[in-house]
Amino acid sequence: MKVHELLKYAYRHGVSTIALENPEVIGRLKLAWIRNGKRLHRDYNWKVTIFRNRVIKVVVMKAPIYGMKVKYVNPKGSTHSKEHDEIMRRYGLDKHTASAYIIALKSIEK
């Protein structure tokens, strides 16, 4: 239901293309998260990756219903970078919104 709410909101605001993190890259990033020790419990990385990929798949399936195209973007550099920190400070955004902003910029450049 939340995916439909998201897509309805985007549709009402005239969005024609949705930028999403590339699920293949997220799978590779999972290994980096494990190596860097960003595990909160034993199966944390698996749960995060499965949840993200599942949401991305649902958005990809439902976006055409609302007449929207989907672009995949490499999420590398969308968090923990100088650009990310600068956007957070400049616009007063939290880390997740700043990451979404960077992904949107990458899709425009692509």
Task: Check: CB of residue 72 under 8 Å from CB of residue 87.
Answer: no
Q: What would the pLDDT profile of 18-37 be if each residue is shown by its tens digit?
A: 998 887 776 666 666 566 66
- In the chain, where are the structural domains located? 1-74, 77-110
Query: 79 vs 2, which has greater pLDDT?
Result: 2
pLDDT at site 69: 95
What gap in Å lies between CA 30 and CA 20, rounded to an integer?
Answer: 17
pLDDT bin (cut points 50, 70, 90) of residue 13 is: very high
